Amino acid sequence: MSAYESDQETQPTQWDLERLRVFVTVVQQGSLTRAAAALGRPQPAISRQISRFEAECQGRLFDRTGRGMVLTELGESVLPAVISLLDEAQRLCEQVQKDSSRLSGEVRLGALPSLYMLLGVPLFLELRKNHPGIRLQIYESSAGQIDQWLSNGYVDIGMPYRYGDNLPATVDPLIKAASYLVGAPDSKFTENPTVRFSELEKCPLVLPGKPSSVRLALDQIAKEVGVRLDVVLQADSAQIQKGLAQIGEGYTVMPAHAVADEVEAGTLRMSRIVEPEFLRTIVLETTPVKPPSRATRQVAQYIRTIIGKKREL
């Protein structure tokens, strides 16, 4: 006998829990057909699992009779150990779930101000309900500032915008947001539901200053379509941008959720930019400075769940 064959004989069997559950279900149901129905799986798949388990046990576990599946002597001896093993696995799952519900620690999140109702409020309520030990701190700022916070580890999770289709491998794209031209309620260029990008050339624009990512992306599209943007004021403050638009002293470019309250109140009006569209992607990224803690990973999962309920903003 070769050394390899000897090693193979002494290797302990790696028991497959799903196979063990199938075995117990067949015992409980008394037939492959009823076990397949109980498990919601095709009968051939159940039969294969039983055959593999019998091979691992090196003997027949069932006698196939006209009345169904009856345990052999080997099957009778194996059954209590299988049930005990499955019970232990269930207790382990319950213990892990119990421990995860006790997550604690501080998680610092850098988010865009426009996400406060979409994300900030429901995220806080979710954590308070399910993980009160996690202390969430939310910092609002521009995408550029959030990138800086991520790079120096000031925040654990950042949610800035990214532009274009070629996103870095380090980010988790969550949702795309269309861009809108935003102006006063009676502004000329927001009369219709959509406005061509080329029309922006005629608008006095209030936009963030360079090297803001949104400004750079807008300038790049303008260059590609041969449009010269008339930026009358560079202002990183969203409040200043919206304030000047409200009084008819300029237009700005924002996603719909950033001006939803003002549009609903009738103090601003917006038109979706088309031909081409100006899309931005809200992404989730963790700081590269340190590995994410369990609490950070849990917060990130909640963010994915909350944002994932939306297809597009």
Asked if the model's pLDDT at residue 243 lies above 70, the reply is yes
Q: What is the pLDDT confidence band of residue 144, given thresholds at 50, 70 and 90?
A: confident
> Mean pLDDT of all residues in the chain?
88
Every domain of the chain and the residues it spans: 11-99, 105-308
As assigned by CATH, the class of the 11-99 domain is mainly alpha
Per-residue pLDDT averaged across 122-134, rounded?
91
Preceding peptide of 276 cis, ω within 30°: yes
The answer, yes or no, to whether residue 161 has pLDDT greater than 90, is no
More confident residue, 51 or 98: 51
CB 5 within 8 A of CB 77: no
- What are the strands, taking DSSP E only, across 21-149? 62-65, 68-71, 105-111, 134-140
CATH of domain 105-308: 3.40.190.290
**In sequence order, what are the beta bridge partners of 279?**
178
- The token pair at 134 is 């996690």
Strands 269-274, 172-183: pairing is antiparallel
Q: For 267-288, what is each residue's pLDDT tens digit?
A: 999 999 999 999 988 899 999 9
What is the model's pLDDT at position 43? 92
